[in-house]
Chain A
Amino acid sequence: MESVSPWDPAEAREIVDRLKHLPGATLPILHALQDHFGYVDREAGAILAKALNLSAAEIHGVISFYHDFRRLPPGRRVIKLCRAEACQAMGARALEAHVQRRLGVGFGETTADRRFTLEPVYCLGNCALSPAVMIDGDLHGRVDPARFDALVEAPP
């Protein structure tokens, strides 16, 4: 992840206040919080609920509904591995097994040294150049195990 800040409720309140005027502000705010802190802290729910005049349950429901929002800080780099059909047709299942073995983590987990978080994704829109992987927002195509190893060994 490119320079994220440690959780700070005051900064979170500033972000919320800056965006709460938007119609349907919940998702834009949650994205802004995650961009800034790398995840959505437990305390953020209460801040959002107060600012948007919604119940804490409603906010919790939104955060937990969407696959994107993390409840814990991620590793330094976030790897999204496509598990969808076009990638399956080109060996994504074997790549998935390789990646999990190589990193020593399953989906939704972070390596012990906090270097990588591995997340599943269902289509990155790179289906003519599958298998596809996204690392810190950058898309990579035709990823086989050797290319994957080169990508994670390269400096970010």
Chain B
Amino acid sequence: MTPKIYVPIDAAALSVGAGAVAAAIEAEALRRGSACTLVRNGSRGLFWLEPLVEIETPGGRVAYGPVAAADVPSLFEAGFLGGGGHRLRLGPTEEIPYLKAQQRLTFARCGITDPLSLEDYAASDGWRGLDRALALAPRRIVETIIESGLRGRGGAGFPTGIKWRTVLDAAAEQKYIVCNADEGDSGTFADRMLMEGDPFVLIEGMIIAGLAVGASRGFIYIRSEYPHAFRTFGRAIALAEAAGYLGASVAGSGRAFRLEARLGAGAYICGEETSLLESLEGRRGQIRPKPPLPAIAGLFGRPTVVNNVVSLASVPVILDQGAAFYRDFGLGRSRGTLPFQLAGNVKRGGLVETAFGLTLGQLIERFGGGTASGRPVRAVQVGGPLGAYFPPALLDTPLDYEAFAARRGMLGHGGVVVFDDTVDLARQARFAMEFCAIESCGKCTPCRIGSTRGVEVIDRIIAGTERGKNLGLLDDLCQLMLDGSLCALGGLTPFPVLSALEHFPEDFDQPAAPARAAE
């Protein structure tokens, strides 16, 4: 058997040299006359080990990493094609503790298969959820999703099955499935990894959603910051069409589902579902007041399911293994698994798919291994730029939607950004307001004007100008934005600001910078 070598083609792996490593392996194999097959897989999500090279051996896959192109000759010398010893050898991939401790349901295939191989997909339980769905009445598919307890993984956590039922019950000639792949939250990359590492599972989930609610057309809106994912996903759609999974008759069932990928244009607000729909329709991405819900009047005014990438990609395993299988993971009202993303100043950054219930501190210590800088953790922002900053005292918060909400935080899309003790929370609070000002769609005044005033007020606090008065004003402004904004951007920007004020008041009470004090 020709040895099989896996080198990821995920954008993050490429960002640290996976392309050069693949080229070096091909060149070295040629030079030595060693026969081997190079497979470009997705990433396992162990990013501190990227580029992570794997070799298929009779005893399973063996990992080496992080590999630089310059290491390749010595790897051949050490006999890595047979799993030989080398200082970069990590042992059997599945035994790496970071991976072994995970419960990978949605990301079961990511990093293992060639993302664009239909053979690989079918050979690793692909299309089984679709097969089940094709044998079920639409209402039964919807009930299965409701029973699974799946909640929207984009951030809001709304029960996916309930949304589907609303669309199923809405009578219309044309309905739509829209996949929200506008993953704009800093600290998140699960959607990107999945689109690049296992695109067919998302296509399968979208087809099942279409069958469930009676929608024959789907759109996926991918942010333009992800050109690599957009290209990979476009190829996957073409392959699925050619194989008869997409088009006039899904897998020969006589039921149609067509799918089209659209590119965003660099607007964070388009991750909000109604802005996304406006953008898909060709307009400015300004939010629409709700009601009507998109489930009743969504894309082009028709009933529309808008779901996140991870929500839709979790559908096939639920149909395949059953609602109870999925529901048995997790706790309370947070069922199943969530792919957490460890990012920022962390030693072992990556994707950790696990059942709800671990604490934030366990995630950072056990998986993340502490900070990359080696300094103490001072703040953790969970849930993207609109998520609260938690101090070390709150690291005992369990990772579930309700526990975070109870501490005025949010789990959001599962992004966890770690900061060491060099962070200045007054500056982070200022950035939260600045970001909101840059990205506000302009539809409502609290967000459009409030964010700009927020930057100004925080600047005055930092400069030491009438601090007491300005802190009161900032609190008042935050309350107004919370209560008066139309959507989550203006409505949640106060969370990082207020949490910074609450947990790190000392950062707002520093001596004024000399330049400003002299003014």
Contacts and interface: CB of A to CB of B under 8 A. Distances in A.
A126 to B, nearest CB: 5
Given A65-B284, A127-B417, A130-B343, A28 B262 contact: yes
B15 A129 contact: yes
Interface centre among A52, A65, A141 (most CB of B within 10 A): A65
B11 A68 contact: no
A130 B344 contact: yes
Nearest to A142: B16
A67 B279 CA distance: 13
Given A31-B265, A66-B267, A129-B12, A85 B283 contact: no
A12 interface: no
Contacts of B218: none
Contacts of B266: 66-68, 121
A129 B50 contact: yes
Nearest to B434: A83
Interface string B227-246: 11100000000000000000
Interface bin, chain B:
35 or more
Interface string B11-30: 11011100000000000000
B47 A68 contact: no
Nearest to A69: B265
B222 to A, nearest CB: 11
Contacts of A80: 225
Contact of A85 (B11, B183, B186, B300): B186
A123 interface: yes
B265 A126 contact: no
A89 B15 contact: no
A20 to B, nearest CB: 10
A87 interface: yes
B205 interface: no
B118 interface: no
Interface stretch (A3-11, A109-117, A132-140): A132-140
Contact of B439 (A122, A137, A140): A122
A121 B264 CA distance: 13
Nearest to B423: A89
A84 interface: yes
B189 A85 contact: no
Interface string A66-95: 111100000000001000111111100000
B263 A125 contact: no
Contacts of A141: 12, 15-16
B186 A123 contact: yes
Contacts of A52: 282
B312 interface: no
A84 to B, nearest CB: 3
Contacts of A87: 186
A135 B93 CA distance: 32
B282 A26 contact: yes
B265 A30 contact: yes
Contacts of B431: 85, 88
Interface centre among B225, B262, B350 (most CB of A within 10 A): B225
B274 to A, nearest CB: 14
A49 B415 CA distance: 40
Nearest to B43: A128
B435 to A, nearest CB: 7
A92 to B, nearest CB: 10
A137 B344 CA distance: 22
A74 B287 CA distance: 30
A47 B350 CA distance: 46
B501 to A, nearest CB: 17
A86 B350 contact: no
A88 B385 CA distance: 12
A129 B45 CA distance: 11
B11 A126 contact: yes
A97 interface: no
Contacts of A86: 186-187, 343-344, 415, 417
Contacts of B225: 80, 121, 123-125, 134
A24 interface: yes
A85 B438 CA distance: 15
A68 B224 contact: yes
A56 interface: no
B125 interface: no
Interface string B212-226: 000000000000111
B508 interface: no
Contacts of B229: 125
B192 interface: yes
Contacts of A28: 262-263
A139 B230 CA distance: 14
B98 to A, nearest CB: 12
Interface of A: 23-28, 30-31, 52, 58, 61-62, 65-69, 80, 84-90, 121-130, 132, 134, 137-142
Interface of B: 11-12, 14-16, 47-48, 50, 183-189, 191-192, 224-229, 262-268, 279-286, 300, 341-346, 349-351, 372, 381, 385, 415, 417-420, 423, 428, 431, 435, 438-439, 441
21 contacts: A24-B282, A27-B263, A27-B264, A27-B280, A28-B262, A30-B265, A31-B224, A66-B267, A68-B265, A85-B187, A85-B385, A86-B186, A86-B343, A88-B428, A122-B439, A123-B185, A125-B191, A126-B11, A128-B189, A129-B16, A130-B343
The 4 tightest CB contacts between A and B, nearest first, are A128-B349, A26-B282, A84-B186, A89-B344
Given A125-B191, A132-B15, 12 more contacts: A24-B262, A27-B262, A31-B224, A62-B282, A68-B266, A86-B415, A86-B417, A88-B344, A125-B11, A130-B343, A139-B11, A139-B228
